[in-house]
């Protein structure tokens, strides 16, 4: 199938400050401060991550979708609520 992602994404470590994912050959940190949807999540929910495209990660248990760019540079992707008000 064209466009199928063959490399897996893997959560490598979880701490009280956030968690690390291994994506391709790089490790990225997702601090809970920048990604609050994960702060109260179970370990199993955080570990259950899928790579749906080259730059698209999905946590089905949490209904969270993230662009890899938002992990690499969270300041470029401010959190916005459904009312259009910044979530920070």
Average pLDDT over residues 50-77: 90
> Tell me, what's the pLDDT at 75?
78
pLDDT at 82 exceeding the cut of 80: no
1-49: pLDDT as tens digits = 445 544 589 999 999 999 999 998 899 999 999 999 999 999 999 999 9
Average pLDDT over residues 51-69: 93
Map out the domains of the chain with their CATH numbers: 9-76 (3.30.2020.40)
pLDDT at 85 exceeding the cut of 50: no
Q: What's the helix, strand, coil split of the chain in %, to 5?
A: 20, 35, 45
> Tell me, what's the pLDDT at 7?
56
> Tell me, what's the pLDDT at 52?
93
């Amino acid at each position: 199938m064209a466009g199928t992602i063959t490399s897996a994404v893997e959560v490598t470590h979880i701490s009280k400050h956030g968690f690390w994912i291994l994506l391709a050959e790089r490790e990225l940190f997702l601090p809970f401060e920048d990604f609050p949807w994960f702060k109260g999540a179970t370990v199993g929910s955080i570990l259950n991550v899928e790579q749906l495209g080259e730059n698209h990660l999905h946590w089905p248990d949490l209904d969270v979708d993230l662009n890899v760019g938002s992990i690499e540079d969270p300041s470029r992707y401010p959190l916005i609520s459904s009312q259009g008000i910044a979530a920070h």
